[in-house]
Each structure stands twice: as structure tokens, then as C-alpha cells.
Chain A
């Protein structure tokens, strides 16, 4: 038995570390490839989220159904209605005789906005009097209502200033308006939702999937008793954690590329900055997210608790505190502090900065430093919490 105990020809310490780490990584990859749930989470969910967010959730306004109550029936009133429908934002779907008809249209959801033009508008206008034009909105959907409000009021004001300009011009006033706003939107001129969403979506998907997948991995081995056998071997906890991390890091990179490609091809989202900076930020963020998942996994012990803790600690900060949907700057101070504890907030800034503005490290270094700190802390705490034996 002892005669061929070939300890002499064994590889050195560094080589052994590498072999054990790669053995863990290889084994973990087999688990991933054989588990349909993991595969769905890893590759199916990004696609589903992309479709939902990319096509379904949009703040863009197109063809909002508009009811017009034109009690004036003059060239002036028709001109106002035409200006509302002209930009493609509104589509006139009904012309009820009075404001009472609007109520029914809102209830049946045939219209979600209405304009009531009072009789005598043209006449009052010619006399130089102010004319109130009523705008009615379906307030049951707050976000849409506020967007529609802005657009409708904007259109009415534009028509109003056009009239004013015509009149002053007609009186020989030189045609100059005292002030005129020339608005130019930078980085996203058409204010398309996708341009704003896709970078945030990359962060969101990587965060959820990164945290959830890794949160499950150690908890699963603990639950199935695998750690008992594993820890009776010479494998160290750093080798176990690093080996477990590598396959998920690879999955994360694939996901990032998938979402990026989808965003660029389907939604025409630009990538103005350096791919290297984007890649560096993505790797740093992934390390942080995976570290967070491993930490959850190491302290929870059961898959069920790990899933819940993983989902809660990535879904909520990922969607609400990252700037993905709601700008962090407009949040109350306390929420801003909480948001600054989660890596998603920095990654969204990096993604938008690099993709839409072409920013580099000179502008984004603070976010990179923050991501780096989070990753190091998360990994260190996870390794410390991950103990041999447990009980």
C-alpha cells in the first residue's frame, strides 16, 4: 500500500491550488449545464427581461388616444387640434359634442386625454383676450398622465406663441419673440426610452442573476451534504469559492454581451465609449455581485432562504436604488445613502456614461473605485463567513 504513495512527484503548492480551483470550476460548470433551472435563470431570464423592458415598458408617447370637444368650430380651433395631432403624440379618436361625453370615453378607455375648446375662442382671440382651453386627463395612470400633460400643454403653448407672433408680426412688430427656447437634447436626442433603459437593464440583469445564481450554489452543497465530503479533502475555502465563482463569472460576461448586442441591434442603443472601460466596469461589478451572492450563500445555509435573501438584496436595489428607473439624485438623502451601498448604482452610472456619453475613466473613476471597494469587501466577508464544517 505504502510503496507507491507517490508524494514525491506531486506538483508544487501553486500548481495544486490551480488544479483544485479548476476542478471546482469544472464540477460547477457540469452542475450548471445539467440543471435546467440554472440555465433558465442564466440565459432565459435576460431575454425575457429584455423583451419586457425593451418593448413593454416605455415612457415614449405615441398615438395617445385623444378626444376633442370643439365647441368653437372655427379655423382657429381646427388649427389648435391639428397642432396637437401633428407630432404623432396624439391621435384624435373621438369628437363628442360636449365635455360629458369625455367621461364615458375615459371609463371605456377609448381615450386617455381630452381637449375642450370653448365656443367663441376665435372671437375672443381676435379681441386679444385670454381664452381658457380645458385639458382632461385620465389620472389613474400617473406616469402616463404627467407625460401627456407636459406634451399637451406644450402643444397648446406652442400654438399660442405662434398666434402671438403672427399678431405682432401683423402689427409690424418685427417678428421677434422676446425669448425663445432652443432645446437640444444631448446623448439621447429623440428621448427614446430604450436608450435610457438598456444600459440600466444590463446592470439589473447582471445583478439579479449574479447574486441569485451564486447565492444558491454554496447553500445547495450545504443542503445536500456535499460540503461534508468536500471538507475532508485538502481543498481550501478560497479554492472552493474561487472555483465556484469562475463559471458564474463566465455566464455573467455572456449575459452582458447578449444584452449589449440585443440593445445595440434591436433598440439601436449607441456604444460611444471604450469597450475596454465597459469591460473593466462589468468585471468589477460582476465580482461584487457574485461576492454578495456567495456571502448570502455562506450565511443562510438553505437554498430556500438563500433564494429569498438573494432576490430581495438584488431585485429591489437593482430596480429602485440603481438609477435604472428612478434617478438617484432626486431621491431623499437617506435613500441616496442606502443606494450608495449597492454596486448597481455605480454600474448604471458607468454603463450610461460609457455607452451614451463616451465617458472614460477620467470621469468615472469614482464609480470604479466604489465598485472595487464593494467587490473586495464582499469577497473577503464571504470567504470569512464560509467555514469548514459549520456546526
Chain B
């Protein structure tokens, strides 16, 4: 993926979004912008505030503070016509399970008052590219996870929105369907649509033009994924050996170890560059096999989150609570 595709100007803007649910602070000054034709990833662990941010941008709730704008319009103001510009696919299953694929499509087309002929054309195309045409009479609740998500995507695309908000679209979707979904998104982005995708999966960050790393309701990092990873200064080790012993050792080492996460039968250890040599020696001394890995997006995230938590005194040593893709 290339750099910012921003020649069409900003179409989505979140500025200083703050929101609390009781004592839980879901958003803590989140700001980001998305340009026309850009595929933007909101990456973060569960509970980081991604869904709250997307719901505010979709006009489903108002932020405690801050502003959200879609094409300059307030998404919470239904009369501004902003909903015609927006496509939103919630994380939860939100279509009507007892209605068939075709009936769901028709229902949402009616809510957008699409011309019958236009609906026929678009639904035919969407059914074809999502490969759902064969299942047009199947109730939505009888679809597999991947097919369901594709139907939800089709329903959100019928009215050709300028901005598409997708909340964890790949969650619960098999790897093949996940690739399908990304291919579909690239197609729409190429046609000029702006897409915001939230995901807890770090490996998906690399599929976006630009990503924002969300942690405890604010952005930790933002930029094109390969540039962010390229700028990462830490060292990543794979340590294989007697797990308990290796883990105990790493806890003892303390300073310099930024993050530890399971990796298959081994541990993935992110270490500050200056401490790398020392940590490697100690691990080898304890009988572990050690191998240097190429840093990826997740290491960057773990390192950055670890730094922030250390600074805020949250503790936890940057250990990942993120789901890892193996």
C-alpha cells in the first residue's frame, strides 16, 4: 500500500473525541482525519475505544466532548442528509436473521429510497462480487460468518456511501473470506470511497493506507504502516526453551524488556535496542534458543503501549492483551 491518497481532501474528521460510560473512560481525546479514497485502520485491543469512536462517527451517539464530521456535516444530525453519505457495518450481527439475503438487501434499499431499477442493478453487482447470488433466498441467520459479513457489507454499500465505517469486519471470519473482504474493500477504495476499518488484529494494519493505533481512548501512533514499522528502533527476539524458566528469567531482567507475548511454542520478546545484547546472552545462558525476528506492527504497538503504561504507572510491563495471529 502506498502513502496517503489524500488528493480529494478530508471527508472524515474526528477532533478531540471524549466519552465516558460511567467511570469507564472510553475515549480520551481521540483525533484523526481520513481523506477521500483512503483506507484507514483504527487498530487497538478490545476496549481501546474503537467501537465508541465509530458509533459516534456513524451518528449513533453523541460524544461527551469533541466533534465528529462527515463531509463537514454532524453525523448525529439526521436532517443534514449525512446518513445518505454514510455506510456503517456494526460489529454485532445486526441484520434481520429471519429475512433472506434478498429481503435484507431490499429492505435496506427501501430505507434509502433507491429507485427500483437502480436497486436491481446494484444488488445484482453486489451479489456477484460477494458471491452471494446463490444464497439469495437463504435466511441471514443460516449464513456462515464470512458470508454474513459480506451480506452486511453489501447492505451498507447499496446506497453508494462516500464514507464506509466497518467495525471489526474480519472478526469471526475464516481466512479465505477475510481475504475476500479486503479485496472487496480495495475495489471500493479504488473507486474513491473512504473506508475506516477497526480491528484488533495487528497483521491487518499492513493492509491499510494509514493506521491509527488506539490505546485507552487516544491515538498512540499514526501513519503509513510500513513507515511506522521502518522507524521502529527495538529488537525482536524469538526465545524457545523451557517456558516457565524463560519467562521467570525475563521478569528478572526487567529494564530493557519492553514486551513479551506467546508465539507458538515460543515467546516473542521485544527489547530496547541498547539492552538487546544483554538479554540475548542471559536467555542463551538459561538454555533457550534465541533468534532475531523482523519487527512487525504488533511489536511496534507493544513497545509503544508498554512505554505509555510505564509512564502512566499502569504496570503490566507492556504484556500484550491483544489477540495474536499465528
Q: Which residues of A contact B (CB under 8 A)?
A: 1-2, 4-7, 9-11, 15-16, 19-20, 22-23, 26-27, 30-31, 34-35, 224-226, 228-236, 388-389, 391
Contacts and interface: CB of A to CB of B under 8 A. Distances in A.
A22 B88 CA distance: 23
Nearest to A391: B61
B78 A23 contact: no
A326 to B, nearest CB: 41
Contact of A232 (B21, B88, B188, B192): B88
Given A16-B113, A234-B83, A235-B111, A229 B192 contact: no
Residue among B58, B78, B113, B115 with most chain A CB within 10 A? B113
A232 B113 contact: no
Interface stretch (B9-17, B97-105, B126-134, B197-205): B97-105
B83 A233 contact: yes
Contacts of A235: 111
B103 A226 contact: no
**Which 4 A-B pairs give the minimum distances between C-beta atoms?**
A23-B110, A229-B94, A232-B88, A225-B92
B93 interface: yes
Contacts of A230: 94, 111
Given A232-B59, A232-B86, A30 B115 contact: no
A35 B98 contact: yes
Given A1-B191, A11-B113, A226 B98 contact: no
A14 B160 CA distance: 23
28 contacts: A1-B188, A1-B191, A4-B118, A4-B160, A7-B84, A10-B115, A11-B113, A15-B113, A16-B113, A19-B110, A20-B111, A20-B113, A23-B107, A26-B110, A27-B103, A35-B98, A224-B93, A224-B94, A224-B97, A231-B60, A232-B58, A232-B59, A232-B83, A232-B88, A234-B84, A234-B112, A235-B111, A388-B78
Contact of B155 (A6, A19, A35, A229): A229
Contact of A226 (B96, B112, B113): B96
Given A225-B90, A234-B81, 6 more contacts: A5-B160, A15-B113, A30-B98, A228-B60, A230-B111, A232-B87
Contacts of B55: 389
B95 interface: yes
A163 B32 CA distance: 104
Contact of A388 (B60, B94, B113, B118): B60
A1 B96 contact: no
Contact of A27 (B81, B92, B107): B107
B22 to A, nearest CB: 10
Given A35-B98, A226-B95, A234-B83, A6 B118 contact: yes
Contact of B78 (A22, A35, A236): A236
B135 interface: no
B256 to A, nearest CB: 43
B235 interface: no
A344 B95 CA distance: 36
Contacts of B108: 233
B110 A20 contact: yes
Nearest to B83: A234
Residue among B89, B110, B115 with most chain A CB within 10 A? B110
Nearest to A34: B98
Contacts of A7: 84
B94 A228 contact: yes
Contacts of A228: 60, 90, 92, 94
Contacts of B155: 229
A20 B55 CA distance: 23
A6 to B, nearest CB: 6
Nearest to B92: A225
A230 B83 CA distance: 11
B158 to A, nearest CB: 10
B193 interface: yes
A13 to B, nearest CB: 10
Given A1-B193, A232-B88, A391 B21 contact: yes
Contacts of B156: 232
Contacts of B92: 225, 228
A12 to B, nearest CB: 10
Residue among A228, A229, A234, A389 with most chain B CB within 10 A? A229
Nearest to B95: A229
Contacts of B87: 232
A389 B60 contact: yes
A22 B110 CA distance: 9
Nearest to A27: B107
B115 A9 contact: yes
A103 B83 CA distance: 79
Nearest to A387: B61
Contacts of A2: 192
Nearest to A237: B78
A235 B115 CA distance: 16
A126 B185 CA distance: 109
A236 B110 CA distance: 13
B110 A389 contact: no
Given A30-B99, A30-B103, A233 B113 contact: no
Contacts of A15: 113
A1 B160 contact: yes
B169 to A, nearest CB: 13
A151 B59 CA distance: 71
A5 B114 CA distance: 10
A10 B115 CA distance: 7
B155 to A, nearest CB: 7
A31 to B, nearest CB: 6
A10 B166 CA distance: 27
Nearest to A235: B111
Contacts of B93: 224-225
Nearest to B159: A233
A323 B10 CA distance: 66
Nearest to A10: B113
Given A232-B60, A389-B61, A27 B94 contact: no
